[in-house]
Structure 1
Amino acid sequence: MQLQTKRLILRDLVPDDWTAIHTYTSMPEVTTYTAWGPNTEADTQAYIQQVVDWQQEQPRQHYELGIQLQSNRILIGGIGIHLQSTNAEIGYVLHPQYQGSGYVTEAAQALLSYAFDKLNVHRIYATCRPANTASEKVMTKLGMTREGVLRQHWYYKGEFHDSYLYSILSTEYAGR
């Protein structure tokens, strides 16, 4: 699968992408708010294998795509959407060198459009840790509404964590 935006190419990942992905998934500053990482090489290679396996599912339920710059074809991050009946969860990660340039918002807008228009998703949601203000800003820019706080719902990295829950409905997205 491949989607194109003004500045980006969103595409299915391939096994050779693991080295580019590992450059940022191994960084502690990238994985501060994630349930994974910092990755070892084996972790990143296992992730790529899982993604390649998901690409073969029929019907496909998991879309983990690379975010690639059109200008030089450098893989700068990833974005995924995971279907659950008429709902879907979206998530994203970006190499720190490329953060703050609107790339994640641009990629997420393209993936939201694809999910609503082509996959007939009714509701897309995302979560972030309360301290992850950059991710929360992306959700707001996408037109998502904060539904609430999931209090200490997730135990990882040795402690319980809260999450903000955001969502957008297909009708809200179409009315933007």
Structure 2
Amino acid sequence: MSESLQHWQPATIPDNRTLEGLYIRLEKLDPARHGDDLWLALQGPESDPKLWDYLPYGPFPERSAFDAWLEKNAASADPHFYAVIDSANDQAQGLLSLMCIVPEHGRIEIGHVAFGAPMQRSPKSTEAVYLLAKEAFALGNRRLEWKCNNDNARSKRTAVRLGYTFEGVFRQHMVVKGKNRDTTWYSIISTQWSPVAAGFEKWLALDNQPKSGQIKSLEECRASAV
């Protein structure tokens, strides 16, 4: 059944504003300011060895290739890249983007997620996605997508934890690094966003994040917000 969109207006495209959170902020990617920190976070001795397994680029054993990749990302309008800055120490610890931006249909995706080890399994990684999701819907989008390699169990678990709805698998969708990629699709639509957002906010709240670790899971916070 078709939904009437009599008052529909196309979404606004992302701009270069900084998005502020409790634990991190998202700044438009700037290789001159963020490059050294990102090199350490994503390629340094304590970086996640599995980080690049399902990304279409990397790893980057040489700094020059890494810098060229950052420059290309920073110059791109779609994907529109952000650096994730730890508010406690002002270090860039990861990056991610808004991409597949289709304002005339109100469709956008969060992708190219590369979080350094200090961000993983912490409020910082969850808040980075929350801030971009919040921005996506504030821009007037109707649909927020998450896609990943169907073999990427970690990304699929993350999508469900973050409140995305599984939609299906596109078989033989892509060839990445010389290998077949079946792509799993997830989405959050605008009518779902309010309780999902409330769940994020409850989970990220300082009283739910003592130094000892979370009190309630994100799923529990979201369920109580419905």
* TM-score interval for Structure 1 and Structure 2 normalised by the shorter chain: 0.7 to 0.9
Residue equivalent to 1:9 = 25
Code of the aligned partner of 1:168 = I
* Separation in 2, partners of 1:47, 1:125: 24
Aligned to 1:104: 125
* Cα distance in structure 2, aligned partners of 1:103 and 1:61: 24
Q: Distance in 2 between matches of 1:98 and 1:113?
A: 19
Greater mean alpha carbon deviation, residues 15-24 or residues 3-12:
15-24
2:88 alignment partner, SS class: coil
The alignment-based identity, stated in percent, is 26
In the other structure, the counterpart of 1:32 is 53
Give the distance between the partners of 1:62 and 1:131, measured in 2 at CA.
Answer: 23
CA distance in 1 between counterparts of 2:147 and 2:94 reads 18
Q: CA RMSD in A?
A: 2.0
Establish whether residue 75 from structure 1 lines up as the match of residue 92 from structure 2.
Answer: yes
Aligned to 1:57: none
Instruction: For residue 183 of structure 2, give the secondary structure of its aligned residue in structure 1.
Output: strand
Alpha-carbon distance between aligned partners in 1 of 2:115 and 2:153, rounded to the nearest angstrom: 14
Contact in 1 for aligned 2:119/2:125 (Cα 8 Å) = no
Which stretch has the larger CA shift, 17-26 or 158-167?
17-26
The Cα of 1:84 is off from its aligned counterpart by 2.0
- Could you tell me which residue of structure 2 aligns to residue 84 of structure 1? 102
Residue 201 of structure 2 is matched in structure 1 by none
The count of residues paired between Structure 1 and Structure 2 equals 170
| Distance in 2 (alpha carbons) for counterparts of 1:43 and 1:153 | 27
Q: Give deviations 1:100-142, integer Å, cap 9, x for gaps.
A: 113222111111111101x211111111223433322332232
Question: TM-score when scaled to structure 1?
Answer: 0.85
Code of the residue aligned with 2:167 in structure 1: it is E
Contact in 2 for aligned 1:89/1:124 (Cα 8 Å): yes
Letter in 2 for 1:113: K
**Do structure 1's residue 116 and structure 2's residue 137 form an aligned pair?**
yes
How far residue 160 of structure 1 moved from its aligned partner, in angstroms, is 0.4
Q: In the alignment, which residue of structure 2 is the partner of 1:127?
A: 147
User: How far, CA to CA, are the matches of 1:49 and 1:23 in structure 2?
Assistant: 17
Is contact 1:66-1:77 (8 Å) kept? yes
8 A Cα contact 2:85 2:94, kept in partner:
yes
- Matched-pair contact (CA < 8 Å) for 1:153–1:163: yes
Give the greater-gyration-radius structure (CA): 2
Q: 2:182 aligns with which of 140, 156, 162?
A: 162
Q: What's the TM-score once normalised by structure 2's chain length?
A: 0.68
The answer to whether the 8 Å contact 1:123/1:169 transfers is: yes
Instruction: Mark the runs of 5 or more structure 1 residues left unpaired by the alignment.
Output: 55-59
